[in-house]
């Protein structure tokens, strides 16, 4: 499967807290939303099931198709080419 927002946060240095989970601040502090909606079907998305798409919107696992990022390098290159910092939402 393509990269999720959780994968992006971990790549950007997010660490689990004492409970072993990732607090919302781990995402928010990296410019990633804690909740979002799928561009295709409107499903509610949290970091673990939110797939960034080349469209700039998030998509669910059913709707991401081949519009996601298969690797961190692909993701970082895409945002670098848009003049954005890595992981930084517009
Ligand atoms: Zn969807």
pTM of the model: 0.87
Using the structure block, give the residue that is written with the tokens 């080419």.
81
**Cα–Cα distance, 22 to 71 (Å, whole number):** 21
pLDDT at 45: 98
Determine the distance separating the centroid of ligand 1 and the alpha carbon of 70, expressed in angstroms. 18
Determine the distance separating the centroid of ligand 1 and the alpha carbon of 51, expressed in angstroms. 10
61: which 2 tokens? 């696992």
**Cα–Cα distance, 36 to 28 (Å, whole number):** 12
What are the pLDDT digits (tens) for 27-77? 999 999 999 999 999 999 999 999 999 999 999 999 999 999 999 999 999
Determine the distance separating the centroid of ligand 1 and the alpha carbon of 45, expressed in angstroms. 9
17: which 2 tokens? 């807290």
């Amino acid at each position: 499967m393509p990269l999720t927002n959780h994968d992006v946060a971990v790549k950007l240095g997010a660490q689990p807290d004492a409970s072993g989970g990732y607090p919302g601040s781990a995402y928010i502090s990296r410019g990633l939303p804690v909740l979002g909606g799928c561009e295709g079907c409107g499903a509610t998305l949290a970091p673990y099931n939110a797939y960034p798409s080349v469209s700039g919107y998030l998509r669910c696992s059913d709707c991401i198709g081949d519009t996601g990022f298969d690797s961190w390098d692909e993701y970082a290159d895409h945002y670098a080419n848009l003049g954005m910092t890595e992981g930084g939402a517009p």
